[in-house]
Amino acid sequence: MWNPFKRSADTLLTASDKQLLVEAIQLAEKNTSGEIRVYVEAKMGKGDALSRATTLFFKHKMNETKDRNAVLVYVAVNDKKLAIYADQAIYEKMGVEFWYSQVQEMTNHFKSMNYVQGISAVVTKIGQALCHHFPYDKIADTNELSDEIMIGK
C-alpha cells in the first residue's frame, strides 16, 4: 500500500504505481482528443493547491493543446493538498460542480489511504467527461502531451 507521507519526491510513487496511473491515463484518453496529466510532489511550498496546479499547467504548456481540453490532476502528498486544473474549453463545458466532485472523490480515497486508486478513479471520470465533449477523431487526433507521471520536488 502506498503511504506517501514524509517521503521525498523521488520515492513518492513506485514503478508499479506510476505504471498503473499511466495505464489509467491512456485508457481515459483512448476515446477522446482531451489530454490528462498527473503531477505529484512532496511539498508545494507557499500558496494553495489550485494556484500551484495553475502554475504547473502553464509551465508545462498544457494550455497549448489544439482544442484547449487538457486537465492536470495535482497532488502534494506531504502537505495533503490536491487540485484539478482544467483548460478553458473543458472547464466551461463541465462546470464547477463536476470539478469539485472530482476533488471530493480523490479526497475520500485519500482518507482511506487509497492514493493511487483515488487518482486513477478521477482520471477515469475525467476521461469519460472529455470523451463526451471532445470525442476521439481517428484521423486528426494525436497524443499532444506525454502520459508519463510528472514528479516534482
Is the pLDDT at 41 greater than 70? The verdict is yes
Q: How many CA atoms lie within 13 A of 65 on its CB side?
A: 29
Higher pLDDT, 153 or 29: 29
pLDDT number for residue 9:
52
- Residue 39's CATH number: 3.10.310.50
Determine, yes or no, domain membership for 1: no
pLDDT number for residue 141:
81
To the nearest whole number, what is the mean pLDDT of the chain?
89
Determine, yes or no, domain membership for 3: no
Determine, yes or no, domain membership for 52: yes
Determine, yes or no, domain membership for 20: yes
Q: How many domains does the structure of the chain reveal?
A: 1
Query: Which band of pLDDT confidence, cut at 50, 70 and 90, is reported for residue 11?
Result: low
Query: Which band of pLDDT confidence, cut at 50, 70 and 90, is reported for residue 138?
Result: confident
Q: How far apart are CA 23 and CA 13, in angstroms?
A: 14
Determine, yes or no, domain membership for 66: yes
Determine, yes or no, domain membership for 83: yes
Is the pLDDT at 66 greater than 50? The verdict is yes
Structural domain including 108 reads 9-151
> How many C-beta atoms lie closer than 10 Å to residue 59's C-beta?
9
Query: Which band of pLDDT confidence, cut at 50, 70 and 90, is reported for residue 12?
Result: confident
Is the pLDDT at 24 greater than 90? The verdict is yes
Is the pLDDT at 112 greater than 90? The verdict is no
Determine, yes or no, domain membership for 4: no
pLDDT number for residue 8:
53
pLDDT number for residue 5:
47
Q: What percent of the chain has pLDDT over 90?
A: 65
Determine, yes or no, domain membership for 97: yes
Buried (b) or exposed (e) across 102-135, using 16+ Cβ within 10 A?
bbeebeebbeeebbbbbbbbbbeebbebbbebbe
